[in-house]
A and B are shown apart, each in its own frame.
Chain A
Amino acid sequence: MLFCLLSIAISVPARGYGDILIVVNQESSIYNISERELIDLYMGRRFEFSNGETVLKLDQGKDSDTKRLFYQLLIGKTLSEVTAYWARLLFTGRSTPPYGLGDDASIVNMVMGNKSALGYVNEELDIDVSKVKVVGRVH
């Protein structure tokens, strides 16, 4: 039974998506963000932007496809591995995970309303990012 279930799970194809856009508030003093800095922020090693400004890190819903793609492109980890990584930091008191929201549109709305917010959206979902600032791209 176990191996039947395994074979079914392995055979499910992954959905294809494009690049991930990194977005901040229009009024933010951040104009670009390096991949290194992004990894440090989203892996809980950095608690503020490199210029010292406060950051509110936003994550997508726990099993969202954009989140799956973001972490796969950024650090090569699956959602389970990211959950395991954050569980390790959370349950050892080192850090708490980024604030989780529902989907790409929620991220844009939250970034529009918070000067310190940092988020990511999937470019191919045609989310309107005209009212936020794109400071990076993960591909």
Chain B
Amino acid sequence: MTNRNSLKSTLFLLLIAFISSKVLASTGIEENDFKISGFSTLGIVNAGNSTLGYRRDVSREAVFDDTTFKSDSLLALQLDIKPQSSLSSAIQLVARDRSDNSIEDSLEWAYAKCRLNRNWVARTGRLGLDIFMLSEYRNLGFSYLWARPPVELYAPMGIEHFDGVDLSYSKILDEGEIRLKAFSSLKDEQLFGVSLSFETAKARFRLGATSIDFGGEGSKVIALLKPALQSAGVLGWADASRYARELDIEGKHIRRYSAGVSYDHNRWRFQSELAYIESDYKPFSPLWNGYFNIGYRVDPVTFFILFGYAKNVGDIENASAAPPGFEALQGSLQSLLNRVRADQKTASFGLKWDVRYDTSVKLQADHTWVEQYGGVLWQQKQDLVNDTELDTISLNINFVF
């Protein structure tokens, strides 16, 4: 019910923004100074099985062997205001399904931007988190081939924006533009990163490094387990205190390093990204993830194949034997340790049909192999004790306006 109210409130805000744009437009503000635009996706997906719930990324509600419009559908409105050539601001609201929905979360961006000179640009406010090739437009389905950004690379990082500053330097070279960007949050949770990109009319290269504070107490399971383990440590299970310390997520960081390349010329489209994620939080072993895509256009349809891969290195940690009376707690701890790893790959094929210059239809079929205890990208109803295969079928209609 709360989610439904939040969604209604967000849609109401979007409506207000749209009406405001019409009112301001009628007051004589020139079109160049004030621009309202948006995009949307109406998507249906059939995914998951009885124990593994499909989710586009870890911030979403999961789908267990069901068909839903909620996972991929969204509506976004953006308001751009440019009072001077060097100053501008933008607000973007995105209404979509979230497991933790609120108006604040629906505010994707709200920032002020200052072009300091030909090369330097500074922004402050709520900004998109620039850690992927599709970082700041992963919701903009019209701009990429697939039904959604490849789950293996994009799903582990559900965070899409932060409140802070970024500074970028760009320079036009003979064949393209090079861009260096640094960003940092201004809140208590530490988040900072740098990226280097080079873009020509046909190709794009990107390198990035980011450090993100986990923030908060972690999942509800961890919040319940930690005090229980602390008590068990006092009451006779010697290793429990160590496990409680290891589960303490406060002050722990993720460090992510990534590289990406895309090539888009004539009929061919290639894109690939690879990332390595490590953490000082012991339950999360280092993760390699990436994807590779080839597309071929037969106007107005582009056909594609896509391979995704995500795997935590190292073995599953086995919780030490617990003395009598603590077996259930030991079982809960082991279940948590069994569910924090990714070990899966997906092969996909599909098509993007550009119906007209602002509308596309996408059809995609995915087959995913999830290895034993490697289902962290899915919502798990129980420990994944066997290798599993799943199919996901998606149909999307994307618009920009």
Give the B-binding residues of A (Cβ under 8 A): 2, 6, 9-10, 36, 39-40, 43, 45-48, 54, 62-63, 75-76, 78-85, 87-88, 90-93, 96, 99
Contact = CB atoms under 8 A, between A and B. Distances in A.
26 contacts: A2-B361, A2-B363, A9-B301, A10-B298, A39-B201, A40-B172, A40-B177, A45-B172, A48-B118, A63-B356, A75-B201, A76-B201, A78-B297, A78-B300, A79-B357, A80-B360, A87-B39, A87-B137, A87-B140, A88-B137, A90-B78, A92-B136, A93-B90, A93-B109, A96-B35, A99-B31
Most buried by B among A46, A54, A81: A81
A44 B173 CA distance: 14
Contacts of B90: 93
Contacts of A92: 128, 135-137
A47 B118 contact: yes
B357 A83 contact: yes
A93 B111 contact: yes
B55 interface: no
A78 B266 CA distance: 9
A80 B80 contact: no
B400 A83 contact: yes
B74 to A, nearest CB: 12
A64 to B, nearest CB: 10
Going nearest first, the 7 A-B pairs with the smallest beta carbon separation are A80-B354, A92-B136, A79-B357, A84-B143, A45-B177, A88-B143, A87-B400
A48 B117 CA distance: 12
Interface of B: 31-32, 35, 37, 39, 76, 78, 80, 82, 85, 90, 92, 109, 111, 113, 115, 118, 123, 128, 135-137, 140, 142-144, 170, 172, 174, 176-177, 199, 201, 264-266, 297-301, 353-358, 360-361, 363, 400
Contacts of B170: 45
Contact of B137 (A36, A91, A99): A91
Contact of A78 (B142, B174, B354): B354
A80 B92 CA distance: 22
Given A79-B357, A83-B400, A6 B128 contact: no
Grouping DSSP codes into helix (H, G, I), strand (E, B) and loop, the A interface class, with mixed when no group exceeds half, is helix
A86 B39 CA distance: 12
Contacts of B301: 6, 9-10
A62 to B, nearest CB: 6
B137 to A, nearest CB: 5
A12 B112 CA distance: 45
Nearest to B352: A80
Contacts of A75: 201
Nearest to B356: A63
Given A84-B143, A99-B32, A91 B78 contact: yes
A93 B266 contact: no
Contacts of A99: 31-32
Nearest to A52: B118
A62 B358 CA distance: 9
B31 to A, nearest CB: 8
B111 A62 contact: no
A9 B298 CA distance: 11
A63 B300 CA distance: 14
A87 B111 contact: no
Nearest to B82: A96
A93 B354 CA distance: 24
Contact of B113 (A81, A84, A88, A93): A93
B357 A90 contact: no
Contacts of B115: 47
A62 B357 contact: yes
A84 B111 contact: no
A91 B140 contact: yes
B299 A10 contact: yes
Contacts of A63: 356-357
B39 A91 contact: yes
A90 B37 contact: yes
B140 A88 contact: yes
Contacts of B80: 90, 96
A49 B381 CA distance: 60
A85 B109 CA distance: 20
A83 B78 contact: no
B143 A87 contact: yes
A6 B298 CA distance: 10
Contacts of A2: 361, 363
